[in-house]
Structure 1
């Protein structure tokens, strides 16, 4: 997943931060025995989801991968595998 930059978008960061704040506040209200505050915080968690989806629809999320992009990525991966030589792999292992 690290190679796909999954989640590295303004929509993802904003939605997660809002939901995280709501989750933390919900924990505080739960310990403080405040059901109204707890459920309001759960509303903030849902709000984070809604904001993230709206931002993604506005174009601030990860674009869908087209068939051409997928084929190009796969071709680049195949080219990288075929250009490796045993000597290059030995040098890479020696550096590590």
Structure 2
């Protein structure tokens, strides 16, 4: 009767580092993150102010939601990594 060890060693395939993955460095990504950072800043300031700024806190949360939606919308419009609006036309 063979007893296999509970800790088995898994062999992973090597990673191909020659493939360009982009890292989200595009106007769509930068715009989305920028809007979300502004929303987070507004919410954080409202949180520190206290109970009198509850509406301001939720406005900041709303701005964050707008940023989350903005990224895919801009990517679909061609401003994402490899998007049609970012192609160099030679001009």
TM-score by length of 2: 0.63
Matched, 1:51 2:70: yes
2:40 is aligned, of 13, 18, 23, to 23
Aligned residues: 63
* Unpaired stretches in structure 1, ≥5 consecutive residues: 65-96
Partners of 1:43 and 1:12 in 2: CA distance: 18
> Which consecutive segments of 4 or more residues in structure 1 shift more than 6 A?
none
* Unpaired stretches in structure 2, ≥5 consecutive residues: 1-16, 84-91
> What do residues 40-81 of structure 1 show as CA deviations (whole Å, max 9, x unaligned)?
1000001011111110110111249xxxxxxxxxxxxxxxxx
Structure 2 counterparts to residues 1-96 of structure 1, below 5 A: 4-33=21-50, 34-63=53-82
Structure with the larger helix share: 1
CA RMSD of aligned residues (A): 1.9
